[in-house]
Structure 1
Amino acid sequence: MASRALADNELLIERTFAAPARLVFDMWADRSHFMRWLGPVGFTCTAAELDFREGGDWSATMVSDQYGESRMAGRYLEIEPGRRIVMTFRWVHDASHPETVITLIFTERDGKTVQLFHQTPFRDVASRDSHIGGWSEAFDRELAYAEGVTQEPLP
C-alpha cells in the first residue's frame, strides 16, 4: 500500500504506538478496548458488537452533543491474529456513503507498533477528506488509551 500513490478515493493513515502489536490489534478485536477509544473528539462510543471472526459482523454507535447519534457497521473479511484485519465499513444512518473496505496492518518495530490504516473506496474526495479528521482524532484517542493500558501495573 505505502509503495504506490494513493487514488483520490483512498485514505491511508499511519500511527506508531509505544505498545506491543498484540495490544494494538486487540484494541480493534475486543469490545471493551474498542469502545474506550472509538470516535473523534466530542464523541462517546455508547454501543459496540464485535463478532470477531472471518465472516462475523460488527457494529458501533457513537454519540456527540453537536452531531447526535452516528451508527456504523460492517463485516470481518480477513483476520490474521496480531497482524492484520480486513473489514467492511458503512454508515448505517447515511446510505449516501458507499460501503468501504478497511485494511489494518500492525507491525512491531523497535519495541513499538506501527498501525497502518487504509480505507477505500470513497464516493469522492470531499467524502474521503471528511474522514481524515474523524479517524485521525479517533487514532489520537486510541494512542492515548494504548499508552494508559501499557502503563497499568501488572497484577
Structure 2
Amino acid sequence: MLARTEKMADDELVIERVFDAPVALVWRIWSDPEHLKRWFGPADFTCPVFELDFREGGTYRAMIHADKYGDSWFGGTFAQIRPNEKIVMSFAWEEGSGETHDTTITVTFAEKDGRTVQRFRQAPFPDVESRDSHYDGWSECLDKGLAYGERLAGEA
C-alpha cells in the first residue's frame, strides 16, 4: 500500500495510490456501483446511492452522507472510458452544496510489478482554497478505495 501526491498546479489536484491488487480488480471497484457504494466518499461518509450508466456518454449520480453534514449529491457524464486504463468524467455538486463550478476528473490505471498504479486528477478549480478542500476529501475517499481494493484482492 503506497500513497503519493505529486506537485500540483493551483487549479488542479493530483493524487496517486498504488494497490497490491491487479488492475482488473481496481477497475472493477471504479466501474461497478455496488463496489462504489462500499468505499466512495470521505472517511466519515457513506455512499448509499450510486446510479451509474458506465459507458461513454453515460451519466452517474450519487449521494454521500455523514450525520454531521447530511446528504451531498453530485454527478456527471463519462467522456472517455478505456477499460483497465482510463476514465474521464465531468464532476459537479448539485445545488445547495456551496460549490458552483464543474470540473473534469481523469483516473488512470497502470499495472506495474504486479501492482496497480492509480492516478487521480481533477481540474480546473477556481482557486487554491477550493482545490485544497477537495484534496482532503478525495484523499480520504481514495484511501478508502485503496483499503477496499486490497481487501478484495486478499480474499481472491
What is the alpha-carbon distance in structure 1 between the residues aligned to residue 35 and residue 11 of structure 2?
29
Could you tell me which runs of 5 or more consecutive residues in structure 2 were left unpaired when the two chains were aligned: 1-5
| 1:37-116 paired onto structure 2 within 5 Å | 37-93=39-95, 94=97, 96-116=99-119
- 31-40 vs 92-101, which moves further: 92-101
Cα offset for 1:95? Answer: 6.1
In 2, the alpha carbon distance for the partners of 1:23 and 1:75 equals 23
TM value normalised by structure 1: 0.92
TM-score where L is the length of structure 2: 0.92
Q: Distance in 2 between matches of 1:26 and 1:99?
A: 25
Match of 1:129 in 2: 132
Structure 1 CA distance, aligned partners of 2:19 and 2:154?
13
| Identity between Structure 1 and Structure 2 (%) | 49
| Structure 1 segments of 4+ aligned residues over 3 angstroms from their partners | none
1:15 Cα offset (Å): 0.3
Deviation string 1:40-64 (CA, Å, 9 cap, x unpaired) is: 1110001011100000000110100
Q: Secondary structure at the match of 1:113?
A: strand
Supply the AA of the counterpart residue of 2:31.
Answer: A
The alignment of Structure 1 onto Structure 2 pairs a total of residues equal to: 150
CA 1:65 to 1:81, structure 2 compared with 1: closer, same or farther past 3 Å? same
Quote the Cα distance in structure 2 between the aligned partners of 1:100 and 1:112.
29
Question: d(CA) in 2 for partners of 1:142 and 1:12?
Answer: 16
